[in-house]
Structure 1
Amino acid sequence: MPDFVDEAVLHIKAGDGGHGCASIHREKFKPLGGPDGGNGGRGGDVVLEVDPQAATLLDYQRRPHRKARNGTPGQGGHRSGANGDDLVLPVPDGTVVTTPDGEPIADLVGAGTRLVIARGGSGGLGNAALASAKRKAPGFALKGEEGESLDVRMEIKTIADAGLVGFPSAGKSSLIAALSAARPKIADYPFTTLVPNLGVVEAGAVQYVVADVPGLIPGASEGRGLGLAFLRHVERCSTLVHVLDCATYEQGRDPISDLDAIEAELAAYGARTGVDLSDRPRIVVLNKVDVPDGRELAEFVTPMLHERGLKVVAVSAATREGLRELAFAMGELVDAARAARPVPEPTRVVLRPRELGETPFEVVALGDNTFRVRGDKPARWVRQTDFANEEAVGYLADRLNRLGIEEALAKAGATEGAEVYIGAEDDSVVFDWDPSIDAGHIPIGPRGTDSRLG
């Protein structure tokens, strides 16, 4: 398996919240010690964080299932459960996070950038926290909520200022090695470079990052060679540098036809992805002029390239001829692109409180005396309820009544015995509605029971 992987699908599960504890303080000579059950701990979040040391998504391709720790249950003696540890997943700079369908979620750029991709579930309240003037010693506690779970697709788009594009063996890796401290693999056969190589170049006061994009051949935008896998790394480059081989002996190739072929692939990729690369400034590098035939060919095609309005630099990575001029030419375009970028506005958090009179739920008629209650709050309350405990079920009924669901069902035309669905569409809890039961009265009886449900 290759060491460099720039795409991965991750299956994420945040930690579940711990259940609350139903406990009564018991001590000699203190028969009425009162409830002392602690709350459950919060489940851990799953966090994506940009790590400068991370360079690949290989580990996530090998182990795509990741889960944060659960919170622990509460205990008696007012001891709350421990919170689950967050799961921090390091990702490379320039990682784009989307849904499996391609809907954007986040673009993680800059060391230390963090994204909480899945939030842990809240811990359930213990009976000490549920005690009130009317219900002095609850015989139940609330269950912890499940953490969020989702699938995400991650894709690396290399962070570089200038991108070297060209045919295999045109000398892109050799140029990066000559211009910077990067040491990519260099050999005399096509597709030597299997991963984008990055190098830092200094040109006077300007420091910038150069990347070579491997495997571009005719048809690359449609999947031929390696181009489709790595064309995305061109998207963030503000400057494109065409590296043209002036010493190739391959039949049917010359600098002009190579330039046209690569430009056609860039245009086809832009049409396919919606990323317009036509407005990026270009530099043409005529490489391998240390070869006599290469110098003659470079001198022959330079006027043709000037007619197209292109900046042309003749270089030799082997003898370092023209490298200083190339470094400053790229630095000038990169510096201009940086100056033209708009100043980012500070992030503002906008709080939008719920409008007065807006109900946190809705009642939808499904058919003959059958209704569904939709809303985050009722669904969350149902998930927190221990349906094996009658008192907990009665407490849920009281909460739903205070929210106004009983009144809303009556207005919707529900009659005695109506089936009421609350919760997720595929995992709902079904209630038989009885409007004659007093949902506002808390009966006195043994803990864990409710005479209204007998």
Structure 2
Amino acid sequence: MTTFVDRVELHIAAGNGGHGCASVHREKFKPLGGPDGGNGGRGGDVILVVDQDVTTLLDYHHHPHRKATNGQPGAGDNREGKNGKDLILPVPDGTVVMDGNGEVLADMVGQGTRFIAGQGGRGGLGNAALASARRKAPGFALLGEPGEARDIVLELKTVADVALVGYPSAGKSSLISVLSAAKPKIADYPFTTLVPNLGVVTAGATVYTIADVPGLIPGASQGKGLGLEFLRHVERCEVLVHVLDTATLESHRDPVSDLDVIEEELAQYGGLDDRPRVVVLNKVDIPDGKDLADMIRPDLEARGYRVFEVSAVARQGLKELSYALADIVATARAAKPVQEATRIVIRPKAVDDAGFTVTKEADGLFRVRGEKPERWVRQTDFNNDEAVGYLADRLNRLGVEDALLKAGARAMDGVAIGSEDDAVVFDWEPSMSAGAEMLGRRGEDHRFEAPRPAAQRRRDREAERDEAQSEFDGFSPF
């Protein structure tokens, strides 16, 4: 059974916003007390949070579909709908979030780091919020906006200070078991380690983490064996430790050639040239291993490597190795620049940015794309003529009609607002603005108008009487 997963594809969906409510307040002696429809609640977000207690993506491998709760619709008496609950997804430290195209969205390092992977939909406005001096009794409300749905890829890169690399059965798991409290599986056959093991080492005042990577073989960077699958786990390490087997039973292998092969695979993988290297000659407790170590050590030191002879089984040379690694890690940490406060980058829009675009496609269809027009369309109830007229007013105020005219659109040309998947298509009328004005005073009810002052009513009656009298004086029966 799989117990370790370091790469998954996750299908997430944020919560939908609740619909707004269209309601009119009614009570005794006040049957039309004005609009009182409440707003819909916001949909819940999908949030990734780094949790130190989580070390694998196994849970998301078994349950890849995750959805936040929806917002509740509004109600009468100005009652707003309840917001949807955010969905918190814990991920291991070192998780990289990518979209379906491989573009990195977030690199999550550090306890508590948060990333909103899916934004919840906005709640629709109720008719009370849509009321204005010109539209005193709207007979419609806005729909809730759908939550963001997307496919993301989570990839785990182990956060460790030291990485042990080498051929299968070189003794990496044995070494990490004696340097730390980790208890990896150890056996006398290749590829015993199927997942990276992580341990914590204390050397003097320095505490660092050490990881062993499943055995590398020639061609690992191209996908042979398990190397390519786990090479990403060495990317964040401060120092690479080559564990070389000085007592291998394979006649075609020797420690120096093993080192050259592993270095070639690391070079093919890329991005690790600047990491300091340390060479560990393991299994020197075996007489042949000790002789071979003494023979090749001068050659390795001539190449610039720091060489340590150890035996994980006999626990020889471990103290010197652990303290040397602690010095390298401490030096690397001190060389890192002090982390500055989070910088917020503000990219203002261009002065000529209208907030939308109009393009004419090959089939003659005019397509309107933009955050506001597409959101307004999603929030419109097209079964309500008044809501459609309100949408027309908003689009006209934004300048969509003028842009269509400049793009060459004519009466009855097809216009689509949105992407090809969920666009709203209609036949355009150039007189949209005039039509909107003719339909204007939508939602107004003269019963809600403020009474005119007595003097104004008297002047209006006198003007009506004078008009009637002038028509009578000009009337002749002959």
| Corresponding position of 2:37 | 37
1:293 to 288, 293, 299: 288
Q: Cα deviation per residue 1:315-336 (whole Å; 9 max; x = unaligned)?
A: 1112221111000111111112
The aligned counterpart of 1:384 is: 379
Residues 41-120 of structure 1 correspond to what in structure 2 (within 5 A)? Answer: 41-120=41-120
What is the identity percentage for the equivalent residue pairs of Structure 1 and Structure 2?
66
1:439 maps to which residue? 436
Q: Is the 8 A contact 1:401 1:440 kept in 2?
A: no
Q: Which residue of 2 aligns with 1:244?
A: 244
Choose the corresponding residue for 1:350, options 335, 339, 345: 345
Does structure 2 conserve the Cα–Cα contact (< 8 Å) formed by 1:135 and 1:442?
no
Q: C-alpha distance in 2, partners of 1:366/1:251? A: 68
| Cα separation, partners in 2 of 1:370 and 1:221, compared to 1, 3 Å | closer
Shift of 1:380: 1.1
Cα separation, partners in 2 of 1:445 and 1:329, compared to 1, 3 Å: closer
Compute the RMSD of aligned alpha carbons: 1.9
**Preserved CA contact (<8 Å) 1:139 1:447:** no
CA contact under 8 A between 1:24 and 1:33: conserved in structure 2?
A: yes
Give the deviation of 1:366 after TM superposition.
4.0
Specify the code of the residue in structure 2 equivalent to 1:417: M
Specify which of 298, 313, 318 is matched with residue 318 of structure 1. 313
Moved more, 324-333 or 409-418: 409-418
Could you say which residue in structure 2 is the equivalent of 1:452?
none
SS in 2 for 1:285: strand
Q: Aligned runs of 1:253-272 on 2, under 5 Å? A: 253-270=253-270
- CA, structure 1 residues 122+446, in 2 after alignment: closer, same or farther (shift >3 Å)? closer
Contact conserved, 1:50 with 1:93, CA < 8 A, in 2?
A: yes
Distance 1:357 1:262 in 2: 56
Contact 2:135/2:444 (CA < 8 Å) preserved in 1?
A: no
| Range 233-242 or range 409-418, more displaced | 409-418
Q: How far, CA to CA, are the matches of 2:391 and 2:443 in structure 1?
A: 18
Does the 8 A contact of 1:50 with 1:111 survive in 2?
yes
Cα gap change, 1:313 to 1:138, in 2 (>3 Å) = same
Amino acid at match of 2:311: S
SS at match of 2:137: coil
Which residue type is aligned with residue 105 of structure 1? L
Distance across 2 between alignment mates of 1:83 and 1:26: 27
- Give the structure-2-normalised TM-score: 0.88
User: Match of 1:216, as an amino acid?
Assistant: L
Q: Which runs of 5+ in 1 are unaligned?
A: 449-454
Residues 219 and 366 of structure 1, relative CA distance in 2, 3 Å threshold: closer
Report the secondary structure of 1:297's partner residue.
helix
- Worse overlay, 278-287 or 405-414: 405-414
**Aligned-partner Cα distance in 2 for 1:445–1:310:** 82
2:408 and 2:382 mapped to 1: Cα distance? 27
Instruction: Note the alpha carbon deviations across 1:255-308, whole angstroms, 9 max, x for none.
Output: 1122122112212222xxxx2x22211111111111222212211111111111
1:37–1:258 distance in 2 versus 1, CA, 3 Å: same
Name whichever of 16-25 and 347-356 sits farther off: 347-356
CA 410–298 in structure 1, closer or farther in 2 if over 3 Å, else same = closer
Match of 1:335 among 321, 330, 333: 330
Q: Which runs of 5+ in 2 are unaligned?
A: 446-478
Partner secondary structure for residue 392 of structure 1: helix
Structure 2 residue aligned with 1:427? 422
